[in-house]
Every structure is written in structure tokens, then in C-alpha cells.
Structure 1
Amino acid sequence: MKTPSSILILTAAYGEGHLQVSEALRESLVRQGYGVRILDLFREAHPRLNALARYLYKRSPLFSSLGFDYYGWTYRITQHMDERHPGVRWLNGLGRRTLLQAVKADRPAAVVCTFPFGGVGAALRRAGLYVPVFTVITDYHLHNRWLQTQADRYYAATAELAAELKERGVDRGRIVVSGIPVRETFRAGLRRAADSESGGANSAIDGTDSAIDGGDCAMDGGDSAIGSADSAGFAPASGRKPPGTILYLSGTHATIADTLRSVKLLLRLPGIRIDVVCGRNDKLRRELERDFKREARVTVHGFVETMPELMRRASCIVTKAGGITLTEAVQAGTPLLIYKPQPGQELENARYFLAQGAARIAYNAAELTDQAARLLERSEIRERMARRYRELNGGDAAAMIADDMDRRLRPLAARHLEPDFADSYRREERMAYDG
């Protein structure tokens, strides 16, 4: 048998975050010599149901503002729901046939989940496909669905998340505190921006050396949230220049009325300039361009490739609380104002950052303006946040995860294990993960 050399990444396009993590992992795994296939499992298996789910996900902020918080309700209801519950069993069955077909066709060395697909490990084992499953948790809060992937190894964003995994019954040897992967293009943009600010003297982040050294450390992360404080690499954003530039990330799901109201209130602050990024929300971009076409202090962007530079030059970032955006802001070192976090993982992410002293939260436009004024006027708040970002920044999580996966997979691949050798595989698997 040919030595396995491919990885199957399972993801879903509910927001950009899961896709970005998948791409970051793909880049690092390719550098390790693996072929990588990224599979949007729900879209492939159930295109109509997936389209409906994506529509409901995109519209959830609007319905939540009207009092119909179906996304938050669903998140809370399923938070501690047992796998034997009929609803969970139905969810876990979605995409199972497509998953098994993909694994049989690709014969991957491993399956990686960047979205919480329940029952992946169990489905593979029941089909006699003894393929290692790795789960990369893309939030700062543990939802039950991540546990239900039944992975051989979990990569956690923080030491607190790793401790919760252990409390929920996951053996500590199967947990690694890794941080959340971000794309190499983003990290390269931060390096360019930092070098430009320092005249080329900033060494910035050197990817693979900055994270946890050695996958065998598992959950031994000390008190820091992601890696060590020495691995941050970039100077904090605060202190580079006088405050005055706000980066407003309105995103795909933002409403036009709320964005207009928020930006207009922020413009009342003295000496303020605002970069508004609308992402792929073209309707919002056109409306803002029309409303602010005579306002020199506002620059409206659509989807941008220069996010690292925009983050670095900003005095603070107004954003939702997606795990990837928060991680990118931490790596940029720019103070965070989380605006109207949606019930569900966003709200839990926001609460974690607030508890860590790494962000402020605002629930309406007036509160956002007050919080922004306080943050921009008080350098000690920005400096305190910058210190937390240095502690939270674990460096190149994608490279560390790829290294750890490779160390676990190579002993199995070297023995040329066939999927039919179930008992042999399980023995070798235990040796690899326990060693």
C-alpha cells in the first residue's frame, strides 16, 4: 500500500471563519508534504438544506434584533444535549454518507474538523474506516457539538478551553493548547506593516518557532491563554501614534440602518477617522458610499486583502466576536471594541475577551461611542489591553498544529497500516497518541 499522504478537512461556510482556518491549515500541511482536500460537507451532501441554513444564519442578527433569537435559542438548547437525543442523532447523521464516500475515495491519512460535525469519529469506526480524527476548535468557548466530533485529538484556543475539555471527560493527552490558526497571508501582511512602522527593524513573527515547542506538551500551557507571552512578536498597536483611526468591521450580516447610525455617532468624536469594511456585503457598501461620499473622514471598503495593514494602523477595532477576527486582532495588537455580539458563540467569545481584559463590549450605538471615546482618550486602557494581547498571542497556530499532526501520523504511515487491520490500527493509534 502507498503511504498515506493526504488530509481531508471538513468545514462549513457559515461565515468566513471556518473556511479561513481550513485554508490556514491547508497551507501548513502542504508545507509538511501532504495533499489536502477541503470539503464543505453540508453543501456537498445537502445543498438545499445547506442553502436554507446559511440564509437563516445570515438573517439571524436581524431577527434577533426583532426579538426572534432562533440562533441563540438553538445554541443554548444544544449546548449540553446528549448524543442520544433524537435531535442530536439526526444532526449527526447529516452528511454521513458523503463523509464515508470521501474517505473511501481519498483514503486520507487523517480527517480534520474545523466545524463541529457531530459523530464523525463514530461514523468512521462503524464503517470500519479507522482514520485519525483531529478537531480544531475555532471559538473561545466550548460547545457540546465540538465534543461530539469524537476526535482523537483536540486543538484548543486557550488553556481555559483545554481545562474545560478535560472536565468534560477528554483525556489530557488528547488535548493541545494551540490557539486558533490564521492565514499566512494575514501574518505576512502584519510583518510588512510592522517592518514599515519600524523602518525594517521589527523582526515580527517567525511563524513556526513562536508557538508551543513540541506537540507532546498537550495541555501544559501554564496560566497564559495561548502559548507564552514571549511569542507575540509584534509591538502593541497602542503607542504607535496618537489615537484617531477607528477600523469598523461591519461584515456580511450587518444591517444598513445600524451601521449608518453607529458610524454617524462615532464621527462626533473629535479628530476621528473611520475605515469601514463591509466585506462581501455589496448592498451595505453602496449605501455607505452614497451616504458618506462628502465625508472625508470616512473611507468605505468592500472585501479587502489589506486587513493586516488596516488593523495595524487603527487605534481601535469595532467588530463582531467571531473567533478568527478576534485572533487576528490579538496578533495585530490593536484594542478591541466588540459591538452587539450575537447570542451563541459570538456572545461567549465576547464574554471571554471581556473577562480577560482584552476587549470592551457595547450593545448599542450610543454605548459604542462612549466606549470608543474612553478607549481612545485613556492610554492606560490601551496599554493594558496590549499587554493582554502579548500574553494571548501564541504565534503561528497553523504551523504548530500541522507539526503536531505530522508527528502523530508519520509512525502510522511508516507501518503501512491498512484500514482492514482494525485491531492493529487501534494498538498503533494508542501508541502514537500516548507516546
Structure 2
Amino acid sequence: MRKRILFLMSDTGGGHRAAAEAIDEAIHHLYPNTFHTFIEDLWKEHTPWPVNKIPAAYPWMIARGMPVWKLIWLMSTTLKPHKVVLPSVSPVVRRKITRYFREVQPDLIISVHPLMNHLGVKLRDRAGLRDVPFATVVTDMVTVHPVWICPAVTLCTVPTEPARELAIRFGMPPEKVVVTGQPVSLKFAARVADRPALRKKLGLHPERRAVLITGGGEGLGPIFEIARAIARSVPGVELLVVTGRNRQLRRRLEGVPWEVPAHIFGFVRNMPELMGAADLLITKAGPGTISEAFIAGLPLILSGHIPGQETGNVAYVREHRAGAYAEDPRQIAALAAEWLDPHRDTLQQMAKQSAALARPDAALTIARRVCDLV
């Protein structure tokens, strides 16, 4: 009889679901036909309106609502929000989630969201499942929010050593914390073997340097302005611009008479190929994309970050000399021009530094660790 693994997450940004899916993929890769897995958005599926709409508001909050987000982050790092949130969870919601736990009867619970740890442990116990192992997979690369840390969990994995130090400082027993790297899909695990063949497949010019620009799944940030600045000031490049679900941005980019070859994509499934073909990545400082870039050995220009949870990511990339941070499109273009200069070795050195930080086996490592608990 297959054992059951329940992932707790919420779609506040794409990173939590992506982490759950990467671990889920790794579990089934390592242990085929062994586990039933369930990925559940507790907020969306088990809370009433308007609370169940919070995940949908997240893209607005980290864009136009950034002042609100900064305030929430600042207050929540000092007020121990789980002590406020848990008592405020209505009896109806508690009963609903508890009933769901009893229906699933998991043999293992894995949380990939900061708000699912204290709540998840409490309601696991209420459901009569106290002996079921509970693992927390922290998806913040460096700046771990205190609410992630529930000392009662069985295991806590973190992406980096600085994250481990913070987890311990916030109260996680050291013996429970394991540095594994950031879980990303196994599609990113292998470096491209034949780069010229891949570039030919994608229709790229064999002699031009390729710059990949992305703003995540929602196409956030000044992608248009960055692409235009590079096209105007770095003549020897070829652009790969990924707009995600931002259709308006894609249409706007497709209407431009480009000075250099430009390939405009919407939401893509072949990001490993695009990264494998690129020479430089320009992106916001999301932990998943940064980790994928490390695996591809890509130098990074980070064009923006979410204050709080992504602040440490910027410092991590800069301190390890794998990239730089710049928000102004003209400054980004100037950096790109400098790094892509064929008479300099800056790009090659940063590519080596980026590759040295890679943890391509992170999802597999986490899968082994959590499955050892059952």
C-alpha cells in the first residue's frame, strides 16, 4: 500500500508551488510507484472569503502595494505573527483543515510555506496525527523570516548556510536543520552538453552573445525598458525576453523595431533551454530563478527584489561575485556592455562563480531526507 505525502503551500508567488512540485517530481523519480502525493493550497481551498483571495492579491502587493508589503514584513519579523494568527483562525477553518487531514491520513506532511508550519503542526495534532513526521522546506534563500521556524517540526531544510544560521538563531534545534540547496525541477539538473546545437535549435545567431531577460511568471518589473536600453547600447547581442503571463508586455515588445535580434516569449516551459543558450541573465532576485541560473553557470544582473525576503539573495549573489544588482535600465545596459566586451574576462569569471554555487541535486537531496522519515 502506497504511503501518503501531503504538501502544504499557498500560491503567494510562484515559488512555493514550484518548490513543492520539484520535490514531488524528485520523490516519484527516486521512488516510483511508492507514494501518493497531494499538493494543497490551504489558504485557497480551506478558508472563507475574503481570506481565500489573499493569494490572488499577492502580485499586486509586491508591485503597486509594495509599501504595504514592507510594513507587513517589518511588523511580522518582530511580533511573532504565528502567536497572533493561530488564535485568530476561526473554529470553522480549524475544523475544515482538521477534517481534511483526517481524510487524507498522510504518512508525512511537508510545508513549503512560512504560514503553514505552526498552523500545520497544531492542526496535525488536533487531527490525531501527532506521530506523523512534519518537514519544513524553507524556500527563502538567505533571509529566513522567523515565522518559518517551528521547533516542533521533525526536519527543516534550508537552501544556504546563512539561512541555516538564521533558522538556528530563531529557535530551530541545530540537529533538525539541513542545508540542501533550493529545490528546482530536475529539468534544470544537467548542464547543456552541446550548446551550439541548442542555440541552432532555438534559432540564435552563432556569433552573438545572448542576453536572457525575465520577470518571473507574471512578467514583473521594467522588462521593456531594460530590453530597449540593451538593444540601443549593446549592438553585438541577441535578446531573449520572457514576459510570462503578461500579455500586454509581450504585445508591446513584439511591436518594437529592434536594433538587434530579439526573441519575445510569453509563458515558457523550456526555461532550462533558454538558460543553457544564454550568456547572461537579467532577472528579479527570486530564489528559484537564481538557483536555476547557478546550475546553468549564468552570470546575473538582478534588476529588482522584494524587500525583506529577497534582500539577502542580492547580497549572496554579490558577495560570491556571481553577479551584480542594478535597478536603472541604463545602468543595467552599461553593466551588460562591460561584461559582454570580448576583450574582458569578467563574464567568464562570473560564470565560474555562479556555477560554483550550483546545487542541482537539491530536490533529490530533500526527497531522500523527507522520505527517510516514513
Task: State the 1:110 CA deviation.
Answer: 0.8
Task: State the 1:199 CA deviation.
Answer: 8.1
Task: State the 1:180 CA deviation.
Answer: 1.1
* SS of equivalent to 1:182: coil
* SS of equivalent to 2:370: helix
Number of the residue aligned with 1:176 = 178
Deviations for 1:22-45, whole angstroms, at most 9, x for unmatched residues?
111112222421110110111101
Number of the residue aligned with 1:22 = 20
Q: Could you tell me which of 281, 299, 304 is aligned with 1:340?
A: 304
Task: State the 1:198 CA deviation.
Answer: 8.1
Task: State the 1:309 CA deviation.
Answer: 1.3
Q: Distance in 2 between matches of 1:18 and 1:69?
A: 23
Q: Distance in 1 between matches of 2:267 and 2:328?
A: 25
Query: Compared with structure 1, are the counterparts of its residues 184 and 252 closer, same or farther at alpha carbon in structure 2 (3 Å cutoff)?
Result: closer
* Contact 2:108–2:134 (8 Å) recurs in 1: yes
Query: Compared with structure 1, are the counterparts of its residues 283 and 251 closer, same or farther at alpha carbon in structure 2 (3 Å cutoff)?
Result: farther
Identity %: 26
Q: How well do the aligned residues superpose, as a CA RMSD in angstroms?
A: 2.7
Q: Distance in 1 between matches of 2:17 and 2:82?
A: 29
Number of the residue aligned with 1:103 = 101
Number of the residue aligned with 2:50 = 49
Match status 1:350 vs 2:314: yes
Number of the residue aligned with 2:248 = 283
* Contact 2:188–2:295 (8 Å) recurs in 1: no
Task: State the 1:84 CA deviation.
Answer: 6.6
Gaps of 5+ in 1: 201-240, 410-435
Q: Distance in 2 between matches of 1:50 and 1:246?
A: 40
Q: Could you tell me which of 2, 9, 12 is aligned with 1:11?
A: 9
Q: Distance in 1 between matches of 2:54 and 2:291?
A: 26
The amino acid of 1:312's aligned partner reads G
Query: Compared with structure 1, are the counterparts of its residues 153 and 37 closer, same or farther at alpha carbon in structure 2 (3 Å cutoff)?
Result: same
Q: Could you tell me which of 262, 267, 275 is aligned with 1:298?
A: 262
Match status 1:163 vs 2:154: no
The amino acid of 2:168's aligned partner reads K
1:3-402 equivalences in 2 (<5 Å): 5-31=3-29, 32=31, 33-46=34-47, 48-49=49-50, 52-63=53-64, 69-83=67-81, 85-87=83-85, 89-90=87-88, 96-116=94-114, 117-119=116-118, 120-130=120-130, 131-140=132-141, 141-148=143-150, 150-187=152-189, 190-191=190-191, 194-197=192-195, 244-254=209-219, 258-267=222-231, 268-292=233-257, 297-377=261-341, 379-402=344-367
* Contact 2:297–2:355 (8 Å) recurs in 1: yes
* Contact 1:317–1:335 (8 Å) recurs in 2: yes
* Contact 2:46–2:52 (8 Å) recurs in 1: no
Q: What is the number of equivalent residue pairs in this alignment?
A: 358
* Contact 1:4–1:107 (8 Å) recurs in 2: no
Task: State the 1:323 CA deviation.
Answer: 1.1
Q: Distance in 2 between matches of 1:72 and 1:93?
A: 30
Task: State the 1:123 CA deviation.
Answer: 2.9
Number of the residue aligned with 2:201 = none
Task: State the 1:171 CA deviation.
Answer: 1.6
Q: Distance in 2 between matches of 1:171 and 1:344?
A: 24
* Contact 1:121–1:149 (8 Å) recurs in 2: no
Query: Compared with structure 1, are the counterparts of its residues 92 and 394 closer, same or farther at alpha carbon in structure 2 (3 Å cutoff)?
Result: farther
Q: Distance in 2 between matches of 1:106 and 1:387?
A: 46
Gaps of 5+ in 2: 199-205
* Contact 1:139–1:323 (8 Å) recurs in 2: yes
Query: Compared with structure 1, are the counterparts of its residues 41 and 311 closer, same or farther at alpha carbon in structure 2 (3 Å cutoff)?
Result: same
Task: State the 1:61 CA deviation.
Answer: 4.4
Q: Distance in 1 between matches of 2:238 and 2:361?
A: 31
Deviations for 1:105-130, whole angstroms, at most 9, x for unmatched residues?
11111110111124121332244321
